[in-house]
């Protein structure tokens, strides 16, 4: 009877030890899966922040281009001389944001002026540009 109790106790201890080891393996697998999921989530967050920054820079570039084109639209079209003008513009709210503004004016055969404004972000991490154009007819010719 004692031998049978001793064998039962030994077998139950062995099963408990096997179960403990199995639980440890499950924990390691779960932690590994959680780490992989967290890594994917962090990567998608980084991508989202980068796209937000890029969209912000493009919106500012569009605003700069729109302001310059509006300034040219307000002037007498006959005063616009054909040619290309290039300058660097620093955004007033953030001195690290620099843009290159390119303005091209071409004169049509009817005296109209085609104005094309291209604003390019000079930030090395953000690539891209915004281009707006308008055709202006001399005043009084309509």
Q: Provide mean pLDDT across the span 116-139.
A: 86
Q: Provide mean pLDDT across the span 82-111.
A: 88
In this structure, of 19-28, 48-57, 69-78, 117-126, the range with the lowest mean pLDDT score is: 19-28
Domain-located, residue 142: no
pLDDT tens readout for residues 5-29: 766 776 665 555 555 566 778 889 9
Domain-located, residue 112: yes
Domain-located, residue 27: yes
Domain-located, residue 51: yes
Total structural domains within the chain: 1
- Token pair listed for 99: 């843009």
How many CB atoms sit inside 10 A of residue 38's CB? Answer: 10
How many CB atoms sit inside 10 A of residue 47's CB? Answer: 10
Containing domain of residue 25, as a range?
A: 2-136
pTM score, whole prediction? 0.69
Please give the Cα distance from 29 to 19 (Å, whole number).
Answer: 15
- Token pair listed for 79: 């005063």
Domain-located, residue 141: no
- When pLDDT is cut at 50, 70 and 90, the band that residue 32 belongs to is very high
Strand partners, 102: 86, 118
pLDDT tens readout for residues 60-95: 899 999 999 998 888 888 888 889 888 888 888 777
Domain-located, residue 7: yes
Domain-located, residue 52: yes
Domain-located, residue 102: yes
């Amino acid at each position: 009877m004692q031998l049978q109790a001793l064998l039962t106790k030994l077998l139950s201890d062995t099963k408990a030890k096997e179960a403990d080891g199995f639980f440890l393996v499950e924990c390691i697998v779960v932690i590994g899966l959680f780490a992989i999921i967290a890594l994917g989530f962090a990567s998608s967050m980084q991508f989202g922040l980068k796209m937000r920054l890029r969209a912000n820079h493009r919106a500012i570039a569009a605003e700069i281009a729109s302001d310059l084109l509006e300034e040219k639209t307000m002037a007498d079209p006959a005063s616009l001389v054909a040619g290309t003008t290039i300058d660097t513009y620093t955004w007033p709210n953030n001195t690290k944001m620099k843009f290159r503004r390119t303005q091209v004016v071409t004169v049509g055969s009817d005296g109209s002026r085609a104005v094309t404004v291209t604003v390019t972000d000079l930030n090395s991490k953000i690539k891209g540009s915004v281009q707006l154009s308008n055709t202006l007819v001399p005043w009084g010719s309509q």
